[in-house]
Structure 1
Amino acid sequence: MAVTNLEKSPQMTQRTTELIEGPLNTPSMTSPFTTDVDEGDKKLEALGYTPVFKREFSNWSSFSFAMSISGVYGSLMSTWIYGLQAGGAAAIMWSWIIGGAGAWALALSVAEISSAYPSSGAMYFTLKFLAPEDQVAFLCWVSGYVNLVGTVTGSAATEYASSQMLLAAISITSNFSYMPTTHHVVAVMALLTVAHASINTLPTRWLNRLTSGYVVFHVSVLVGACVCLLAQKRDKHTLSYAFTDFQPTSGWSPPGLALLFGCLTPAWILTSADSTARIAEEAKDPSRIVPKAIANATTFTYIIGFLFNLVLVLCMGDPRDLATNSQPVAQLFFNAMGRGPAIVFTLCGFVVMNLVAIPGIQSGSRTIFALARDDLLPLSRVWRRISRRSQTPIAAVWLYAALEITVNLLGLASETAITAVFNVCTVALNLSYITPIVCKMLYSRFERGPWHLGRASVFINLWAVAWNGFMAVVFFLPTKLPVTPENMNYAIAVFIFVLLFAIGFWFTHGRHYYTGPRTRARTQRSFDMAIGRGA
């Protein structure tokens, strides 16, 4: 059923035209690239936006996209150091079990909300429907900027880790005669970012094809690495060792508190559920496909990540030989299997991280597009434009890539500084997810979509908010005592700066014109019918 009772202003018509490069010859109520309106476009129109993307992502490709964002094989290689330094084997295993459960609850909560309000604005946009009307503008403004910072720093960290893995493989090939420097890492990172951004200028159908094959490659690499490690490592640890050997070196009292720092690994890997929600305007039947992709991919990642962690712990040898290495898993491969297999599996990690970075830029550019569509960013008219050639926001793609490179240039100044910026990623993203979940529970304005958690919703929401709110505080603490200028966790300073900037920019600029997401007016009945409620 087409939605006809939507109000449209001259300003909205002008803004819709600005989305597309060049003149339009098609009605503003339908996508400028298609002549028919599918169910996903009807729902988007009911939310108040004019469709501008082509819907290419199916059930499988959306699931694969969600899996690629987590990139458990490569991401675990780059973040395994947190659990290792937190206390060795037991810290790695229990931090994944406990921390992963909290991240899984958060992902399910995000999936439920994204089913009700599927758009590229994702959690930022949902505040329009979940928060009280007099708070929508301020909450959307701050949440939008905090989410953007979290997204950019997360993608920048992915590019940085990709560069480190490639150079680690080269170092192993040279029998460690070559040791990468920070300048080398940053230079390779910049080249990779440009390459990944160039791929994101392709039409959506090509991005869909690239993403669709990811899961098969990723699972093959995971299984291959596990089988080779278990077959070639002679002196393996026992299962009892994996869950009981705890070697705290942090200086925290009680020592078990250090285990919490290992929870950064599952939080990092499982925290980007919102990224899949960003492609809602490019997915078919997004109110069902997108939340299913988030839930299924997060659950699969949680399970397979546990198994991969277990294999690594059983085969790691003495953890003290790995704890000082920036790429401990690559060193583990070398120690357990020798140079050849270590090079192969480290390069596989590099490939996986590239397949994380490409959809990361796609998701990040859709974040910029969604914020610019609502006039939340400076020069919004530029960043919300859609290319006629690729049907994607190319200007937003290159802005996002430039932001990634800018963040990583901090690595040239200080390793401590770049680490602090990377650590802000998880806290910033989780805060932007928790905000709509809290509003959902407090204000009772939420009307669930086709995919929902049923009676378990309240419990899962409460667990997600409580755990991730608690971990936001933990991630700001220094991981070692006594605190020195070298081991101090400066993430809190970076986060406070981001928060003060967003709030200050609101009072000096945003509050004078920004009233929340710039959607057309719609009636509740038209929205309910389009979204499939009460049918």
Structure 2
Amino acid sequence: MDRESVFLDGIKEKDPSNLKPLKPALEYVEDTSLNEDDKLVEMGYKPVFKREFSTWATFSFAFSISGLYATIITTFSYPLIAGGAAAIVWSWLIGGVGCMCIALSVAELVSAYPTSGGLYFTCKNLVPPAQMPVVSWLVGWLNLLGQIAGVSSTDWSCAQLLLAAVSVSKDLTYQPTNRHIVGVMAAVITFHGFINSLSTRWLDRITRFYAAFHLLVLFACMICLLAMCKNFNTGTYVFTSVEPLSGWKPSGFSFLFGFLGVAWSMTDYDATAHIAEEIENAAVRAPQAIALALSLTYVLGWVFNIVLVFVMGTKLNSLNQSALGQPVAQIFYDVLGKNGSLAFLIFAFIILNFTGVTSMQANARTIFALSRDQALPFSRYWYRINKTTTTPVIAVWLNTGFCIGLNLIGLGSVEAIEAIFSVTSIALDWSYVIPIACRLIFGRRMNYKQGPWNLGWLSIPVNVFAVAWTSFVSVIFVMPNIRPVTPENMNYAIVVLAAVLLFSLVYWWSGARKNYIGPRVNVDLDSEDPFKME
């Protein structure tokens, strides 16, 4: 295929107002005669990564991004406060259906357009040219906000888990302060930065064992809890007892806040898409990994929650106000004793580190992809590829420094840092459902074609439910979780979300719109090649 004939207009065009290179003629069409890099070229991008992620490493990456075992431990308080036993069990089962619909919808789009930009790139072929730049700009910034908040919150939780383990080892006589958490957090994020400065080949080798270790710990924990618990709750209590601690009435409304736990655990669906340019046969392997990993997360997460409710006892206030800072850590201590709880808290810390490493890897590729299209300030610096590792090392350390700086807010205000963390699910989910909605509205008009992995006739109903579900839970996620509302328990997520969106729009109208035309064609632009090796 003559690449210049495909991209002639895009290569020569210098006027940003002319959107010829953005027409759907550039959309990915499955062609088995082309290798993976040629398919990337068809979408308009010059290959710069080495495709060294194996099938198992891709699945392991997708499964570990949720941090199932560890994230349930760190988010258990949401459904516990929302409605007690029944909220923990049923909010996961019900909310997981909505999350699965989003995940499967994302997987379809990843199959159609497997690039490091993830769903941000899909706007190029799903939105009419006149509206495409501003829509892709919004999606890109929402995705970046969600990922940065996700990395920051993951590593903050890592620090909390490690210090909780220290507290257990000292028989609860040690109480970590915010300064301790910030110090450990900075060390953890820096460590993740060093890991992500390695080559794709080394990242593949490291990632391979994540899923196996994660599953082994999860099953071992459930078996130990069931074997060592002396006083089980009854089945009636587990599945029907509603005891809201939130202060919201009626109880049914309070129950809705339990969806926060599953939404935080089952998110970042497109993380695997951001390493698509490092995966062989990414149009198949990436969506397969997303679908399988999220399916396992959904099923095993529900089972793990049921086990925790059976063994947690009935003193919910005591769990919620645990000196360990985590209700599940208190459950471990009560059921497994000092040594058992210490071991499984350390395992949780290790697993959440897997999530931190994979989240940072995905986020660095997102920064690279957005910079490639000049969507970030000083873009020319962030998309450079290191000549030794052939990975975006500068983007990794930009991410590292920004997340440490963001978490320093926790020194002064726990409420502010929790507000930043709580926007993770909202921002990420909207960065997914906007392209999904555009596919539903404009797909036929833009000649959208399914990738090799798709849902067939189920595609449209699943897409519709994903959009409807996100619209519904987003209202819940920005409301205060506890009443009466005070400055300490106020949900500031909407403030943070509005501030970032306002910044992105001001940046857009102040001049970025003059140069930004959406995902760009950069193939064969040797004289202006942005992918310089350091």
Length-normalised TM-score, structure 1: 0.91
Distance 1:422 1:201 in 2: 25
SS at match of 2:114: coil
Distance 2:512 2:308 in 1: 49
1:515-526, aligned counterparts within 5 Å?
515-520=517-522
Q: Which amino acid aligns with 1:418?
A: I
SS at match of 2:391: coil
Say if 2:10 and 2:521, in contact at 8 Å, map to a contact too.
no
Q: Quote how far apart the aligned CAs of 1:7 are.
A: 2.7
Distance 2:8 2:221 in 1: 56
The match for 2:320 is 323
The match for 1:426 is 425
The match for 1:345 is 344
Distance 2:63 2:93 in 1: 19
The match for 2:513 is 511
The match for 2:185 is 189
Q: Structure 1: give runs of 5+ residues left out of the alignment.
A: 15-36, 523-535
SS at match of 2:172: coil
1:248–1:4 distance in 2 versus 1, CA, 3 Å: same
Distance 2:301 2:370 in 1: 33
Distance 2:137 2:485 in 1: 35
1:519-534, aligned counterparts within 5 Å?
519-520=521-522
CA RMSD of aligned residues (A): 1.8
**Residue 227 in 1 paired to residue 223 in 2?**
yes
The match for 2:413 is 414
The match for 1:21 is none
Say if 2:41 and 2:523, in contact at 8 Å, map to a contact too.
no
Percent of aligned pairs with the same amino acid? 45
Say if 2:196 and 2:203, in contact at 8 Å, map to a contact too.
yes
The match for 1:57 is 53
SS at match of 1:317: coil
Pick aligned residue for 2:125 from 129, 135, 155: 129
Moved over 4 A (4+): 1-4, 8-14
The match for 2:96 is 100
The match for 2:29 is none
Say if 2:98 and 2:465, in contact at 8 Å, map to a contact too.
yes
Distance 1:504 1:434 in 2: 23
Q: Deviations over 1:362-388 (max 9, x none)?
A: 000000000000111111111100011
The match for 1:369 is 368
The match for 1:278 is 274
Say if 1:44 and 1:119, in contact at 8 Å, map to a contact too.
yes
Say if 1:6 and 1:521, in contact at 8 Å, map to a contact too.
no
SS at match of 2:321: coil
The match for 2:531 is none
SS at match of 2:341: helix
Q: Which amino acid aligns with 1:480?
A: I
Q: Structure 2: give runs of 5+ residues left out of the alignment.
A: 15-32, 525-534
Distance 2:82 2:481 in 1: 8
Aligned residues: 500
**Residue 287 in 1 paired to residue 286 in 2?**
no
The match for 1:448 is 450
SS at match of 2:7: coil
Q: Which amino acid aligns with 1:100?
A: G
Distance 1:427 1:145 in 2: 13
Q: Deviations over 1:49-72 (max 9, x none)?
A: 000000011221111100010110
Moved more, 473-482 or 43-52: 473-482
Say if 1:69 and 1:360, in contact at 8 Å, map to a contact too.
yes
The match for 2:172 is 176
Distance 2:279 2:348 in 1: 28
1:184–1:11 distance in 2 versus 1, CA, 3 Å: farther
The match for 2:468 is 466
Q: Deviations over 1:92-120 (max 9, x none)?
A: 01110111111111000000011001100
Length-normalised TM-score, structure 2: 0.91
SS at match of 1:7: helix
Q: Quote how far apart the aligned CAs of 1:335 are.
A: 0.5
Pick aligned residue for 1:308 from 304, 310, 318: 304
Q: Deviations over 1:25-54 (max 9, x none)?
A: xxxxxxxxxxxx972211111100000000
Say if 2:7 and 2:521, in contact at 8 Å, map to a contact too.
no
The match for 1:390 is 389
